Amino acid sequence: MADIFDVIADGTRRDILQLLRERAASGEHGTSVSHIVGELGVSQPTVSKHLKVLREAELVSVREEGQHRYYSLSTAPLDVVDDWLIPFFDDGTYDTAGSSATTLTDSAAAAADLVGRAAASTKHALDSMLKRIPGR
For residues 2 and 24, which has the higher predicted lDDT (pLDDT)? 24
Is pLDDT at 70 greater than 50 in this prediction? yes
Q: Please give the pLDDT value at position 42.
A: 95
Q: Where are the domains of the chain?
A: 1-136
> Tens digits of per-residue pLDDT, 45-57?
999 999 999 999 9
Who contacts 2 (Cβ-Cβ below 8 Å, separation ≥6)? Answer: 53, 56, 57
Note if the pTM is more than 0.85.
no
Q: Please give the pLDDT value at position 101.
A: 45
Mean pLDDT of 9-27: 93
- Output the CA–CA distances (angstroms, integers) from residue 106 to 68, 79, 101, 102, 130, in the order listed: 33, 18, 5, 6, 36
CATH for 1-136 is: 1.10.10.10
